[in-house]
Amino acid sequence: MNGLKIGQYVRGNSFLHKLDPRTKLLGCFVMIITSLLKNNTSALYINVVLLLLCILLCGIKFKQFVKMVRPIRYMLLLTFIFQSIFISGEKLIDLWVISVSREGLHIGIVTIARIFVLYFCSILLTRTTTPAQLTAAIEALLFPMVRIGIPINKFATLINVSLRFIPVIIEEAETITCAQKARGAPFNSKSLIKKFKAIFSVLIPVLASSLQRAADIAIAMESRCYTGEINHNRIKGLSFGKSDIIALGLISTSIVIVLV
Amino acid sequence: MADAIELVNVQKQYKVNNHLTHALKDVNLTIPKGQFIGILGENGSGKTTLARLFNGLILPTKGNVYVDGMDTFDKRFIKKIRSRVGMIFQNPENQIISSIVEEELAFGPQNLNLPIEEIDKRVDKALNIMGLTALRFHATNLLSGGQKQRLAIASILTMKPQYLILDEPTSMLDQSGRYELINYLKKLNKQHNITIVLITHNIKDILSADRLIVLKKGAVVLDSTPWKIFSSPENLEISGLNPPDMVKLVNGLNKRGYKLKDEILTTEQMVEFICRQLN
Ligand SMILES: Nc1ncnc2c1ncn2[C@@H]1O[C@H](COP(=O)(O)OP(=O)(O)OP(=O)(O)O)[C@@H](O)[C@H]1O
Ligand SMILES: [Mg+2]
C-alpha cells in the first residue's frame, strides 16, 4: 500500500527541480489558463509540446510516462469518442448509425489536449517541487493579499499539511473499506441506494478520524512554536536564477502568441 | 532564574457537561535540568494533563508553572518556553507536518524565524544525532513507526530544547523500535544533557531512570528512585505497580539470606553484579 503515489515529490536534479518554485507555479497557471481559452488552440498545442519537453527534461522514461497516463486513460478515450460522435458537422466517416464529423474530431482532440495539460502540469509541479517549496511560493506570490486582510500564510500552511496527509487519509479509507467489506457492506451492489449506504459507511469514519487527527496535528504544531504569523525568512530562501529568466521568457512568449 | 520546570500548587479542572473533573489536584513538582524522569500512572490519572502543563499547551486552573523562571501564563514567553520544552506525542503519524524529512526538521526553527544557514546547521546536527542522515530527503509517509518517532524527536532537537517531554512515545512501537527509542533517549540525556521526562505504561522503559513519579487520581503519590519504588512492598501497594521480574528475584534471594546490596533492576545489571562476584 505504501508504494509511490502519483503526484508525489521525487527528488532529482533536473532543470525543473532547479527552477524557482514561483516560476513553476506561475508557469503552470499561465499554461492552464492559455490552454482553456476557447478560440485559440495554437497556444494549447504549444503548451502540449512544452509539457512533453518538460517531461523529457525531467528524465521521465517512456514506461513511467505510460504508467502516469494509465489512471486517466478511460477518461481520455471516452471524451474523445463521445466528442467525435455526438458533435454534428461535416461527415468524415459514416458507419451505419455512427458518424464521425470533422468538427467532432477536432473538439475531441482539443479536449484530450486540455486534459493532458491540466493533468501533467499538476503532476510535474508536485513531482519536482516539495510541498514546503510550493507553500513558500504561494506565500511569496500572493503576499500582497495580506494587506487586504486575506491570511495567505495560513492558507499556505493549510496546503502544506493537506499534501502531507492526503496519502495517510487515502490509506485509512482503504483500510476502512476493507473492514466494511469484511462485514458485508455491499460495495458492488446493483442498487444505487445500497451502494451509497456502503460508501457512507466509509466516509463517516474517515471524516471522524480526520477531525481527531486535525486536533492532534494542531497541538503538535502549536508545541513547535507555530503561531500562524508570516515567516519572512522562508520567502527569502527562494532564489531566482538564469534558468528562471529563460522559463519566464517562454511563458511570456506563449501569452503573446495567444494574444496575437 | 532557576534552571528547572517548577509546578507550584497546580490544580487542573475540566468542565464537561457541567460536571467538574479534577484532572490534577494540588501538584508541587520540580524537574531540575539533567535528570531522566519516568512518569507512571493508570489511565486517567492525569499524566497527559501534567505533560501539557509543562510547555504551556494548557494552563493550570489554579497555581503556576515556571519554565526556567518563566511563567507559562505570560504570553510573551510562549515561544521561548515551547522551544525549550519539546513535546513528543503518542501517535507518530499525527505529529509529522511536512512531506519531506528535511522540511519536517526545519519547521520548528522556521517558526522561530531563524536565518536559513542556522536552520541548515541545526538540521544536519539533529539528523546526525537521531541516526536519520541517510533519510534526509525521504518522504515522511514512507517511514516506519520507529523512524517517525525518531524524526519527531529530531525535529524538536532543531529548536535546541533543554527538556524533552514524551507522552507514551513507545506505545505504538514494536519491541525493537521501543528498545531503540529508549536508547536514543538515554543518549540525549547523557551526551547532550537534555532533561527527559518519559510518560509510559511500560515499566521496562524507565528502569534506568534517575527518578520515577507515580500519579494516582490526579495526585503525585510517589516520587523516588526506581529501586526504592519497586523493592518496597508498601510503595508497590501505594502505586499499584507490578515490579519487574528481576526485582522479584533479588527480593526473593535477599529473603533467603543472600545479601545482595546492589540495586539490581535489569538483566544487564544482574550480569554485571554476578561477574563482579566471580572476580
Ligand atoms: N480536554 C479534556 N476535557 C475534559 N476532560 C479531560 C480532558 N483531558 C483530560 N480530561 C480528563 O482528565 C483526567 C486525566 O486525563 P489525562 O488524559 O491527563 O490522563 P492520562 O493519565 O494521560 O491517561 P492515559 O493513560 O489514558 O493517557 C481524565 O479523567 C480525563 O477524562
Ligand atoms: Mg495520556
Mean pLDDT (whole number) for A118-127: 90
Helix axes A102-128, A41-57, angle to 10 degrees: 40
Q: What is the pLDDT of residues A151-170, one digit of tens each?
A: 887 888 888 888 888 888 88
In whole angstroms, what is the distance from residue B183 CA to residue B166 CA? 14
Residues of A in contact with B49 (CB under 8 A): none
Residue of B18, B25, B39, B49 to mutate, ligand 1, most atoms within 8 A of C-beta: B49
Does B86 touch chain A if contact means CB atoms closer than 8 Å? yes
> CA B176, CA B166: separation in Å to the nearest integer?
18
Testing the interface with A: which of B94, B120, B143 to mutate, by most A Cβ within 10 A?
B94
Closest in A2, A219, A225 to B83, CB measured? A225
What is the spatial distance between Cα B57 and Cα B51, in angstroms, rounded to a whole number?
Answer: 9
Greatest mean pLDDT among A67-76, B102-111, B240-249 lies in B102-111
What is the per-residue pLDDT for A152?
A: 80
| Grid coordinates given for A257 | 502568441
Helix runs in chain A, H state only = 15-18, 21-36, 41-57, 62-69, 73-86, 102-128, 131-141, 152-182, 192-222, 232-236, 242-259
Q: State the ligand closest to the CA atom of B52.
A: 1
Q: What is the CA radius of gyration of chain B?
A: 20
Cα B219 to Cα B39: distance, rounded to the nearest angstrom:
12
pLDDT band for B73, please (50, 70, 90 cuts).
very high
- pTM of structure: 0.81
* Higher local confidence (pLDDT), A61 or B260: A61
In this complex, the residue of A216, A225, A231 whose CB is nearest that of residue B94 is: A216
Verify whether the Cβ–Cβ distance B100 to A232 is below 8 Å: no
3-state SS, residue A224: coil
User: Which domains, and CATH codes, for chain B?
Assistant: 4-243 (3.40.50.300), 244-279 (no CATH)
Mean of the per-residue pLDDT values of chain B: 91
Residue A2 scores a pLDDT above 50: no
Tell me, yes or no, if A170 comes closer than 8 A to chain B by beta carbon: no
Residue whose Cα lies nearest atom 2 of ligand 1: it is B14
* Ligand 2 ion: Cβ-proximal residues, 5 Å cutoff: B 48
Q: Each residue of B240-260: pLDDT tens digit?
A: 888 888 888 888 888 888 877
Interface probe for A, chosen from B110, B119, B151 (most Cβ of A below 10 Å), is B110
Question: What integer pLDDT is reported at residue B68 of this predicted model?
Answer: 94
* Mean pLDDT to the nearest integer, A107-120: 89
Q: How far is A88 from chain B (nearest CA, A)?
A: 49
A187/A199 Cα distance (integer angstroms):
7
Please name the member of A217, A232, A233 whose beta carbon is closest to the beta carbon of B94.
Answer: A217
Interface size between A and B, measured as CB pairs under 8 A: 90
What's the rounded Cα separation, in Å, for the pair A115 and B230?
A: 68
**How big is chain B, counted in residues?**
279
In the block, residue with C-alpha cell 499547551 = B57
Three-class secondary structure assignment of B15-36: EECCEEEEEEEEEEEEEECCCE
Output A251 or B169, whichever has higher pLDDT.
B169
Atom of ligand 1 nearest to the CA of B15: 4
What ipTM describes this predicted complex?
0.86
Alpha-carbon span B47 to B72, nearest angstrom: 18
CB of B91 within 8 Å of any CB in chain A? yes
B118–A contact, CB cutoff 8 A: no
As a whole number, the mean pLDDT across chain A is 82
pLDDT of A150 over the 90 cut: no
Chain B hits for A237, CB-CB cut-off 8 Å, are: 116
Given the CA of residue B43, which atom of ligand 1 is nearest to it?
A: 25
Is residue A197's pLDDT more than 60? yes
